[in-house]
Amino acid sequence: MPEIITAATLLLSLAICIRLLTYRPHAGARHRPAAAWLAWALIVATGGQALALVLFGTGSAAAGVTGRMCQLALLAVLAIVIYRARGNAARLLPEN
């Protein structure tokens, strides 16, 4: 079971990172610095997590299955939200 959780965590992290990296704003879209920083932080976090899983495996044994399950659930929700927003991090923030 831990191998399945790790593989799913890796795939969801990569999916989020790649979707954010490939986002193309529509013509006339305005730049929102807060959204840009949010997208950058999500790219760094998910890309770093994917890279750490590839390079170091599951990491610390102290994390345990429960921690990975919570992390997997969080990534699943985040992946759904980002894909519903079509990679537009600005849609994750309230309108000004």
Tens of pLDDT along 30-43?
A: 988 888 888 888 88
9 Cβ contact list (under 8 Å, min separation 6): 49, 53, 68, 71, 72, 75
What pLDDT is attached to residue 19? 94
Q: Which residues contact 35 (CB under 8 A, 6 or more apart)?
A: 88, 89, 90, 92, 93
Count Cα atoms within 13 angstroms, Cβ side, for 86. Answer: 3
Q: 68 or 22: whose pLDDT is higher? A: 22
> pTM (2 decimals)?
0.73
Task: Measure the CA–CA gap between 53 and 56, rounded to whole angstroms.
Answer: 5
Q: Per residue in 48-75, pLDDT tens? A: 888 877 877 765 554 456 556 667 777 8
How large is the C-alpha radius of gyration of the chain? 15
Domain residue spans of the chain: 2-21+32-89
